[in-house]
Structure 1
Amino acid sequence: MEATPQTGPTRSRRRLKLVNFEIQENHISHETQGLSDKHLVVRRGKPFKVTLLFDGRMWNPKAERLALQVLLGEMSAKMLVRFSDKWSDPHSWSARIYPGNIGHRVVTIHVCAPVLSSVARYQLLVHIAGAHEQSSYVAGTFVLLCNPWLKEDPVYMPLDVQRQEYVKSDYGVIYMGTDVNFSQRPWSFGQYEPGVLEACLQLLQVSPQHLGNSHKDYVLRADPAYLSRIICAMVNSSDDMGLVEGRWKGNYKDGVKPTEWSGSADILHRWMASKGNPVRYGQCWVFASVLCTVMRVLGIPSRVVTVFNAAHDGDGNLITEEFYSSTGEKLGLSKDSIWNFHVWVECWMRRSDIGAGFNGWQVVDPTPQEKSAGIYRCGPCPVVAIQRRCLDTPYDTAFVYASVDADIVRMIVRSGKVVGKKVDTKWVGRLIFTKSIGSDVPEDLTDSYKRKKNQTHRVGVPVCLSSRSVVSFPPEEVCRSSRSATSRSSIQVCRLASCDVPGPAEEDASSLDVTLTVAGEPIVGKSINLTVTVTNPTNSTRLLREHLNAQLKEFNCSPGKSFWEGHQDVCIQPFEDLTRHHSIHPSKYEPFLAGDDILKVAVVIKDLKTEERVLAIQEFNISSPKINIQVEGGDSIQVKKEHTATVSFTNELNKTLNGAVLAVEGYGLLRGKQEARLTVLHPGETIEKKVTIMASTPGTKLLSASFSHSSSPSVISRSFHKVSIIT
């Protein structure tokens, strides 16, 4: 880079011809290869090399002082270049010339930023001062990031395999669906794509904190907790010029449907091209994956985490309420909700603001659900604080705790009365997954968030002393506990009518035990097989009425209208286990499928004599038919070399599909969307599309394919394929 003389009264004739930032060598040394081909990108607390080339008279170390100056907004640090091979104060900027690093017209200087420097793009100046003249030059700019390789840095991560996975890897896996039969979706974080680093830095520059007080913002950017809080808010567009606009229902025609994204780079590029207008649309896994990309770029170790059965505690009482009809249909009476899965990010850092006991993984959730200090963001919240139930720990620990460990109070309502109730202490946060190091197999994080619950009275809610998760109560007891322990919505329901349903006879006081299970893996086009098991622990024969109900739902919403029901009276003998088998034919659910659906099935068993009711539920996703993707020569391809990929879909359903469309996309591999179409696709027939792929940059890319047909309201199958790009 040619040095530019700085204007001013001290400027003399130019003696500094060129400044070489030694980008290739510095990037290798600082583990920043591929992040930028335009800027020097280095990590704080570790020296980097700058070479000065003089033209004409050489710099005279004996008669002239050589100094470097770094500028960041109103902040400035000037360092006198010294001859030494040792570094002293790690908290100050310093510049050294090692012995032997001076040539005829060349000087190599090693510059080291303080370990707690702010993450930003800095300007570098060179000053030469002698007895009779002074010269100053603008050398250029460089980007400074956090340093998880340095022990003194708050984001230090001790193991290299962890740093490779949580900082350098540009590939991840998102787990979705339900805890019964979850699916996995690959994601390309894309931090090595051109322009991604610049977009991440721009996010910081347009944050309300920076625009409101740039100097204060620059000072605070040394703290990874502050950085994560700023970026968390900027990933969603609810309060600012953020990246992604969320939408969870309705029409997506004026943007991209959230399920169609497969990587972060495309989203970041679109945001930059739009000059700060939000990219449409995202849902939790999109927000989290983009946040993970930005944090890894900034040097903060991060991973995407999925919580299955995540609670949204709307009123902050650590209890989630659900209401069902007497036939098992879920009712929309509660402000609380349970998401089948919710995705957030864990970031690794020391928490100097709250003490060493809360160091390590921190939950940072960019999905706009609730405000934190007036802004839609959540965290950083120490995972250890959630496990220890330290609910006042900053930031937002109580909300995150409820997401993974709230109790569910499920009430059966009939004619305005609460006629049955159960408390489930195990449903929320049943599984918590992240991608394993070096593998797509999920790592189970559940124990790091949750301790085993004591079977005691929790936050005013009656809890069964047995180990079973399904609990029932006599109706009159339900009403009393509802008034004392639950929130306004259940109190209002309870007051609609008196709870005058007689309770069970004394000899029948023990509850029925009811379970509902799904056999095998439910697949589109196949019947869904259900098993209801009822246990009678009493010495009396009991006449029961079985109500079954099935509803479609989106992962974050209450179910829609029921599409299948079943009712039958059965008799169960004393101490008997009664097993009931049911089947839902594809013709019952296929007309209602809208893509990425989850089914909710509930059974209510009613004792016709005592009118005691017991509820059991099951939620599961329906697996789509598979799309086959194969890359000629294997899944590792060379940069800038063409390869052929074959994408195919075979109709394994028992019906003809009209207007079949097989579409293929691949950001960084393929330009635009390519399609194959067939007017009719008979059972057993295959539709195929061959595409030519080529990558211009190394890293991990994804090919995505989707299949749809005219009789379906949306895509019925979607697949992703990982391709490794090597030099």
Structure 2
Amino acid sequence: MEDLSIQYVNLEQSENLERHRTVGFNGANALVVRRGAPFRISVGLKGRPFNPTTDSLRIKVMLGPLFVIMPVTLPKKTPSSSWNAYINTHGLNPLNPSIFISSPASASVGWYKFQLDVLTLDGQRSQAFGKFILLCNPWCSEDAVYLPCEEQRKEYVQSDSGLLFMGTAKNLVSRPWSFDQYEPGVLESCLNLLQVSPQHQKNTRMDCLNLNNPVYISRVVSAMINCEDDRGVLKGNWSGDYKQGNHPSKWTGSGDILKQWARSGYQPVKYGQCWVFAAVMCTVMRVLGIPCRVVTNFNSAHDTNGNLVIEEYYSETGTKLNLSQDSIWNFHVWVECWMTRRDVGSEMDGWQVLDPTPQERSGGVFCCGPAPVKAIRSQRIDLLYDIPFVHAEVNADVHTIIVSQGQMVSFSKDKDKVGSLICTKAVGLPRLQNITADYKYVKSPTSTPSSRSSTISKDSTLRRAVLSKGVSVVLALDKSPVVGEPICFTVKVMNQQSVSKMMKVHFNAQAKEYNHNPSDTFWDKNGVIQLAPMEVKVLQQQILSAQYVDVVGDNLINLAVVLEDMASHERVLTSEEFNIASPELTIQVADEDSVVPKKEHTATISFTNPFSQPVSGLLTVEGAGLMHKVHFSMPSLRPGMRVEQDIKFLPSMVGVKMLQASLSLSEININIRGFKMVSINSI
């Protein structure tokens, strides 16, 4: 009888990528498929034709030290919980049969190898080898990460760009970010992250078994994004000294970070802060097939002693003091991943908080989560993982204390400041979605600020009112501050009593980073006002741009007003923390309704100098799936002058992609950004 042997194995790349919704990974050096669904390979045989009644095929699938051997059978119903393979007898080509390999919906993710054997009755044997990458499958109802809504799957798994929200709740900044999951080398870096984890190094077999569980995967990734306990991706730095690496605000996407980490032999990339940690984790989770979104919590508490109280101290002249171990970050960024929680009960299925920013240890390592959002809202602190810590971040009370000569002279309480707005990018739209009510009970609907505009409506004007026994005071910004313009604000003082009052007034402004107490005062003003019985006085104030220009950039402003009754020495304080909005770059795409793959298109980026001095800088333009990163030098631009830069881009695939630009100014410590969502249509 003539020999029968395997000549080749065709992984049918284009068909399988389309079927498994992994077309973006076309450049990977292995077939990328999702668990719980079959993929087809075709086998080229030589010698005599294949006879399914006398010849047999067998496949061995291997992940690290784990393997399973399965016969290739005729199509039949098999348990979805086990690996199986079957041959397509419909239209069978005896020299080129098709084999379907199906993994269980609970298979471990990772880089698989397979061995195909053909066996004959007389003992002849021929082998062929191949490899494939297996990811989670949000399209499979039996998968623990199944997400029913197709629009959400497009946003939270397939989208390779998004917005990160920063600044303050009432004047937030939407920052473009490229997740880059389809860029060359990113998929491999994400899979390598699992293999260099301490869990994998300590017990490879057990780790490979556990990589079937998104709860386990998410904890490994949360720990591996920071480098505190392992060979993680990013080194955190909040010191202000970034000479040994990149300033965290310079990063624009995850791809550069992940590829630099892999190229360096898994040395931590310098440097990251919370939004960088979260955005890189979002990339890794989307690559692995676990739905993920980036979430911002405005006025995020770090409660070090677990009493759900944050103390803030001020001097009698309105200087904020660094006297507490607790802190409030103006914003803090983490991620949510979608999964079932069989370990804590199905009522906790859905979005889970994961925070890769190293703050506190969980199970002995710097990671956080997955904490069910439903458990945070219902205060189920008995459940896994880290629910009390996240609950405090969104629900702690704030106690404001004025001290004079070491003594407390004023005290007030605010139950609404912490967790004032929790948001994420809306599905399919370049704006925010308010998800505060998912985390906490909200007394009334929170108005949704614009994610693009620097103008604030009268209904949402920044204001904070404080009432003492005799005087109440309201601080309001007249409009959202914009770089290059004065900061204008109004203080309304109301005498609540039927006696005249002489009041000392102290104004104080300090610059602050989003996660630190303020630095030294850069502007202050003092005065005395007299209030007749029941009188209301309005004080108009402004801080000129020349007075704050040295503290702009990524800084925020802490503005405080202290009134002191000169007779009773009773004091009342009101304060507001706010960011100064930067101008934006404008991006226009020529014939934007006619953008198609594999054809060069043109975009124009423009900038008008709003500053009172000439500026120059470096313009960087990039777009995953559109173009590689390019740099342009911008010559000195006089105040009020406009400059335009044309760039060419070549889309690689159909879909919505983000074109983003960043202008780093030489004269002022500020980055000016802009982005444009580009729809690439089929030809």
Out of 644, 656, 659, the residue aligned to residue 613 of structure 2 is: 656
Matches within 5 A, 1:161-310: 161-310=151-300
Which sections of structure 1, spanning at least 5 residues, go unmatched? 1-11, 455-467, 474-509
2:47 aligns to what? 56
Answer with 111-120 or 122-131: which moved more: 122-131
Q: Which amino acid aligns with 1:719?
A: G
Task: Give yes or no for contact 1:670–1:694 (8 Å, CA) kept in 2.
Answer: no
1:552 aligns to what? 511
CA distance in 1, matches of 2:243, 2:631: 16
What's the TM-score once normalised by structure 1's chain length? Answer: 0.86
Q: Which amino acid aligns with 1:562?
A: T
CA distance in 1, matches of 2:124, 2:244: 59
CA distance in 1, matches of 2:671, 2:180: 27
Indicate how the Cα distance of structure 1 residues 582 and 283 shifts in structure 2: closer, same or farther if over 3 A, else same. Answer: same
Indicate how the Cα distance of structure 1 residues 14 and 238 shifts in structure 2: closer, same or farther if over 3 A, else same. Answer: farther
CA distance in 2, matches of 1:591, 1:91: 62
Task: Give yes or no for contact 2:464–2:574 (8 Å, CA) kept in 1.
Answer: no
1:582 aligns to what? 541
Q: Which amino acid aligns with 2:481?
A: P
TM superposition shift of 1:326: 0.7
Task: Give yes or no for contact 2:290–2:338 (8 Å, CA) kept in 1.
Answer: yes
CA distance in 2, matches of 1:216, 1:582: 65
Answer with 252-261 or 329-338: which moved more: 252-261
1:603 aligns to what? 561
Task: Give yes or no for contact 1:420–1:472 (8 Å, CA) kept in 2.
Answer: no
Q: Secondary structure at the match of 2:23?
A: coil
Q: Which amino acid aligns with 2:524?
A: E
Task: Give yes or no for contact 1:606–1:613 (8 Å, CA) kept in 2.
Answer: yes
Task: Give yes or no for contact 1:266–1:667 (8 Å, CA) kept in 2.
Answer: no
1:717 aligns to what? 672
Indicate how the Cα distance of structure 1 residues 13 and 243 shifts in structure 2: closer, same or farther if over 3 A, else same. Answer: farther
Q: Secondary structure at the match of 2:168?
A: coil
| CA shift digits 1:153-175 (9 cap, x unpaired) | 11111111111111111121111
Task: Give yes or no for contact 1:549–1:603 (8 Å, CA) kept in 2.
Answer: yes
Q: Which amino acid aligns with 1:515?
A: V
Task: Give yes or no for contact 1:48–1:111 (8 Å, CA) kept in 2.
Answer: yes
Matches within 5 A, 1:461-480: none
1:666 aligns to what? 622
Q: Which amino acid aligns with 1:661?
A: G
TM superposition shift of 1:32: 1.2
Task: Give yes or no for contact 1:262–1:702 (8 Å, CA) kept in 2.
Answer: no
| CA shift digits 1:572-620 (9 cap, x unpaired) | 3444443322111122211333x12211101112222322222211111
| CA shift digits 1:520-568 (9 cap, x unpaired) | 1211121111112233444443332221110111111111111111222
Over aligned residue pairs, what C-alpha RMSD do you find?
2.3
1:369 aligns to what? 359
CA distance in 2, matches of 1:253, 1:663: 21
TM superposition shift of 1:122: 1.0
CA distance in 2, matches of 1:656, 1:616: 34
Indicate how the Cα distance of structure 1 residues 671 and 423 shifts in structure 2: closer, same or farther if over 3 A, else same. Answer: closer
Which sections of structure 2, spanning at least 5 residues, go unmatched? 445-462
Calculate percent identity across the aligned residue pairs: 44
1:704 aligns to what? 661
1:490 aligns to what? none
Answer with 323-332 or 605-614: which moved more: 605-614
Indicate how the Cα distance of structure 1 residues 589 and 301 shifts in structure 2: closer, same or farther if over 3 A, else same. Answer: same
Indicate how the Cα distance of structure 1 residues 550 and 671 shifts in structure 2: closer, same or farther if over 3 A, else same. Answer: closer
CA distance in 1, matches of 2:586, 2:166: 20
- 1:677 aligned onto 2:635: yes
CA distance in 2, matches of 1:355, 1:395: 13
2:94 aligns to what? 104
- 1:29 aligned onto 2:47: no
Out of 307, 315, 329, the residue aligned to residue 325 of structure 1 is: 315
CA distance in 2, matches of 1:257, 1:577: 47
CA distance in 2, matches of 1:43, 1:148: 9
Q: Which amino acid aligns with 2:488?
A: N
2:337 aligns to what? 347
TM superposition shift of 1:100: 1.1
Q: Secondary structure at the match of 1:376?
A: coil
CA distance in 2, matches of 1:612, 1:642: 69
TM superposition shift of 1:376: 1.2
Matches within 5 A, 1:239-638: 239-452=229-442, 510=469, 512-593=471-552, 595-634=553-592, 637-638=595-596
Q: Secondary structure at the match of 1:204?
A: helix
TM superposition shift of 1:47: 1.4
Task: Give yes or no for contact 2:618–2:631 (8 Å, CA) kept in 1.
Answer: no
Answer with 238-247 or 201-210: which moved more: 238-247
CA distance in 2, matches of 1:407, 1:214: 45
TM superposition shift of 1:207: 0.6
Indicate how the Cα distance of structure 1 residues 88 and 223 shifts in structure 2: closer, same or farther if over 3 A, else same. Answer: same
Indicate how the Cα distance of structure 1 residues 95 and 670 shifts in structure 2: closer, same or farther if over 3 A, else same. Answer: closer
TM superposition shift of 1:685: 2.0
Task: Give yes or no for contact 2:178–2:623 (8 Å, CA) kept in 1.
Answer: no
- 1:68 aligned onto 2:59: yes
